[in-house]
Amino acid sequence: MSKDKEKELIDMIKSDDLGQLNSPSGDDMPRPVASKVVEEIVEENYIRRMFPNITVPKNARNLTVPVLTYDSNNVKTIGYGTDVTGLTEQSFSTGSVILQPRLLVAYVDIIEDDLETASIDLAKYIRQTLTHKLAEAEEIAMLKGVYAAGTQTYDKVFDGIQAVANGAATYVAATSKISYNAADDLTDKIADARKALGVYGKNANQLVCLCDSTFATKLRKEDLVYSNQFRVDTDVLKTGNIPSIQGVKIIETTLLDSVNSGLGVAIIVKRDAFVVGVRKNVFFKTRDIVETFSKRIIIAEEIDFKAQLQNGSGTYEGVVELYATGS
């Protein structure tokens, strides 16, 4: 494949729908196009929209974000020297979240003969496919990833929400898991979860319930949810959509179906319990695979995802898991 043809294809992949084919130096896409690709990723991966996003400077290996330690008593007397009884004044403490974006990569191998006859439509399809796979990898990692240093598996790039809530991650939830069985009403269990979260469960508008298909199906069949006495937009029989329960928005995802052996699981999480850190705009590279006469086209981004509501015990508030016992 000629260098001119290869450059033309990569410029097409980097371009926007208006045909902006002038490639900048290096591997970064033009800023408007990179922003568009990021928008596509955020649109597909709803978790990116749920939590705060922080930009990590390109020239920084990591970014330390100072946070309060969420103790039961964060109101303390601060003063100079000692008080009248000779006791030392209390001091306050802060913690930190270190955002260290890691490289997340998606790629596709294309036979060079196909690239020789490639049109702008093929280039657009390649970009859309890579964007979709990158968003899917993000979503899986943010939902149930378990961080492991030195691995090249995308679901180990950081600790996901379910892993933190379950206690299986580096970061561990402060709120104990809540079990339920076949006889329990899930509406009541969601209320129990809000109570267990304490002050973090007070405002239902700030909570989201992420659940698997089994949990969602059981919830749909419960009398309080299934009843057609509610208005049409909350009528499960007509719409199939699950309304907010106890004020908590319900989001069903099949990506959690493999968790808890498929018996049923849900995680209730506060919208600021985690933070997303992104360092660099998405960028493209290519690599020749001589053995198969193929071209590997790679899209990459640098991203981190961390729990941030740390308490004085080193565990994290604002997230709790509901799980089925199977009985």
**268 and 190 within one domain:** yes
CATH code at position 205: 3.30.2320.10
CATH code at position 26: 3.30.2400.20
**183 and 149 within one domain:** no
The pLDDT assigned to 201 comes to: 92
The pLDDT assigned to 18 comes to: 33
The pLDDT assigned to 286 comes to: 78
112: CB partners within 8 A, 6+ apart? 1, 293, 294, 295
Which residues in the chain show pLDDT less than 70? 1-36, 68-95, 114-121, 226-240, 280-281, 327
The pLDDT assigned to 20 comes to: 38
**191 and 118 within one domain:** no
Q: Which two tokens stand for residue 152?
A: 């090249």
195: CB partners within 8 A, 6+ apart? 201
The pLDDT assigned to 79 comes to: 56
Query: Measured between alpha carbons, how far is 80 from 246 in angstroms, rounded to an integer?
Result: 46
- Residue 146 and residue 156 in contact, taking contact as beta carbons nearer than 8 Å: yes
pLDDT tens per residue across span 187-238: 999 999 999 999 899 999 999 999 999 999 999 888 777 664 454 455 555 5
Determine the structural domain holding residue 212 and report its residue range. 174-273+314-324
Query: Measured between alpha carbons, how far is 242 from 305 in angstroms, rounded to an integer?
Result: 28
The pLDDT assigned to 22 comes to: 38
The pLDDT assigned to 17 comes to: 44
pTM for this predicted structure: 0.79
- Residue 31 and residue 20 in contact, taking contact as beta carbons nearer than 8 Å: no
Residue 209 falls inside a structural domain: yes
The pLDDT assigned to 312 comes to: 78
Q: Residue 176: count other Cβ atoms within 10 Å of its Cβ.
A: 10
Amino acid at 165: A
pLDDT tens per residue across span 35-57: 667 778 888 898 999 999 988 88
Q: Residue 142: count other Cβ atoms within 10 Å of its Cβ.
A: 26
**288 and 151 within one domain:** yes
Domain count, the chain: 2
Sheet strands side by side (includes 274-289)? 53-55, 274-289, 294-307, 102-111
* β-bridge partners, 143: none
Query: Measured between alpha carbons, how far is 112 from 127 in angstroms, rounded to an integer?
Result: 17
